[in-house]
Structure 1
Amino acid sequence: MLNTLLPVTGPVMVCVLIGFLWIKFNWPYDTDMITRLVMCIGAPCLIVSALTQSDISHSILQEMFWVTLSVIASSLLAAALLIRLAGQPLRTFLGPLVFPNAGNMGLPVCLFAFGERGLVLALAVFMVLSLLHFTLGIALVSGRSVLRELVSNPIIYSIAVAIFMLYTDYRLPLWAQNTVNLLGDMTIPLMLLTLGVSLATLKIQNLGKSLYFALTRLGIGVAAGWGMAELFNLQGVARGVLILQSAMPVAVFNYLFALRYEREPQVVAGMVMISTLLSFVTIPVLILYVI
């Protein structure tokens, strides 16, 4: 069992721990700059690099897009119902319950669990989630349209470039491809370090509410991912990637949005921290199932 789990979870935990200890030693870490670097340069380059050099068929990638949308739709319905039953505000908790940490945690876990093929499929899920999180997610928490956020999101342009290259068989010049590969390679380590830094700086208030919604997030994720994998009859790596990505903890960006729009940020911070810590137990269990 350890021979299966350690190669997947070990690198993730070590990188997160380094980021956590970095802050505990009071060493400087510009989280805003690193986050912008990853979202504006690293992640777009990783998307173009991985998708355009993969031998995965267009039909499989398209299927992952549609399945991910189905996971989000079913998660929205389940989350809205559970939030209403708990008597809590939808705008505060709908986003954190629906949008998982498919980037910082999901990408490396799928890479180490399934190799480059797993990374490509995980990126397909990540792209859909990112676009929805920075549009629908912000709209949910802010209560207004955020078309500008969509237009200014570099990830959407990297998706357009990758799709163009996939369907036209266009290839970048070698120097450009090597540059994109190099910049894309920084993404996953920086994501994990930043996750550790975020965990070190978050503070929990109202432990009971945070714990309830953290458990709810993990439960909704597993149920939605598993259910859609069965409904769409996904097999092999695609099935494993969908379940793992869907089961990730609350994304750190949910806390940043809650802070920006004053939607109980301390409770959302607790959800991020608790669900992430719990995922170090739940994710290995799921890995044993899906590998």
Structure 2
Amino acid sequence: MLEQLAAVILPVVIIAAIGYAWSRFSRPFDNALVTQLVSMIGSPCLVASSLTSLHVQPESLGLMALATILVFSGMFVLGFLVLKVMGLPMHSYLPAVVFSNAGNMGLPLALFAFGDSGLALAVVYFAFSATLQFTAGMSIAAGTTSVKHLVRMPVLYAVGASFLFIVTGVQVPTFIANTLEILGGLTIPLMLLALGVSLASLRIRSLPRNLFLSLVRMIGGFALSFLVSWALDLPPMARGVLLIQASMPVAVFNYLFAQYYNRRPEDVAAMVIISTLLSFGTLPFLIYYVLSAAQ
């Protein structure tokens, strides 16, 4: 079991540490370019490649999608109530409480824990997370709602096209499948490197409050995913993937949006780094739990 834990956790930590060291040694790293590559090319290709190349039943994907929607609905309600009681502005803190790092950390953890089949389920969660973050999350931070962000998201078209192939049973042409696999393979290492680079530039402030909100994000996500997986009677692998994705720390994109719209970016940055540091301590227990439950 220790060997299994190391195989799942250490690659994530090592690659993020390389990104952190790269930044600390003042090596060039164009975060904006990497973000665009991952958002516009890497993530859609990863989603399409994972969903179309694996033998996962459409019913399993649909059940995972339902579980994901329920978890996000619960997180929105939980975050709203907590912030209302604390008297904190929704536009600054709600996205950080709701959206986990399902891409940078969740995808590789699901891959290393459950293999390609686990990755296929994880990209369902990631696809919903990315869609909601770039629509509802961005709208909350901006204080306005815009449909143009939704129609400009390549991951939506990747999901739609993938489900069309899955439902009809049509095989993706080999040259397209190979292209998607190569481009999708860029995503996870670039995400982990970008995570490490981002952590090197962030600072911690208002520790008690931001520590509490970080715990709400991680513990709340775990509790809700546990309840949803129990209520839907998810299979062990789907339950494990849902628990991993929902228990991840605050997504780095929350900081980027907070900075762009000037929504207390220092506090959101603190939540990112606090929750990420906490996750390195909780990951062994989380992965041990999901692997034990799946056996």
Distance 1:143 1:238 in 2: 35
8 Å Cα contact 2:72-2:98 kept in structure 1: yes
> Would you say how many aligned residue pairs link Structure 1 and Structure 2?
291
| Contact 1:141–1:258, Cα closer than 8 Å, also in 2 | yes
Query: Shift of the alpha carbon at 1:88?
Result: 1.0
Query: 1:105 touches 1:248 (CA, 8 Å); kept in 2?
Result: yes
**Aligned twin of 1:245:** 245
Look up the equivalent residue of 1:27 and give its one-letter code.
Answer: R
CA distance in 2, matches of 1:48, 1:81: 36
The more displaced of 155-164 and 98-107 is: 155-164
The reply to whether residue 96 of structure 1 matches residue 113 of structure 2 is no
Q: Report if the CA contact (8 A) 2:52-2:172 is conserved.
A: no
Deviation per CA, 1:83-133: give whole Å up to 9, x if none: 111121122111110110000000000000111111000001111111111
Is there any run of 5+ residues in structure 2 with no aligned partner, and where? none
> What secondary structure, in the 3-state scheme, does the structure 2 residue paired with 1:103 have?
helix
1:1-291 equivalent positions in 2, closer than 5 A: 1-291=1-291
> Offset at 1:272?
0.3
User: Displacement, 1:178?
Assistant: 1.1
Structure 1 stretch displaced more, 113-122 or 158-167: 158-167
Matched AA of 2:244: L
Matched letter for residue 280 of structure 1: F
Contact 1:247 1:283 in 2 (8 A): no
Is the 1:97–1:220 contact (alpha carbons within 8 Å) kept by the matching residues of 2? no
- Post-superposition offset of 1:209: 2.1
Unaligned runs of 5+ in 1: none
| TM-score, length basis structure 1 | 0.98
CA distance in 2, matches of 1:280, 1:205: 20
Q: Deviations over 1:59-98 (max 9, x none)?
A: 0101111110000111111111111111211221111101
Q: List structure 1 runs of 4+ shifted beyond 4 angstroms.
A: none
Q: Distance in 1 between matches of 2:36 and 2:118?
A: 25
Q: CA RMSD in A?
A: 1.0
Counterpart AA for 2:123 = L
Residue type of the alignment partner of 1:221: G
State the 1:210 CA deviation: 1.8
Contact 2:100 2:248 (C-alpha < 8 Å) held by counterparts:
yes
2:107 and 2:123 in contact (8 A); partners too = yes
User: Match of 2:66, as an amino acid?
Assistant: W
Report the identity percentage.
43
- Contact 1:209-1:267 at 8 Å conserved across structures: no
Q: Which amino acid is 1:7 matched to?
A: A
Structure 2: how far apart are the matches of 1:206 and 1:78? Answer: 21
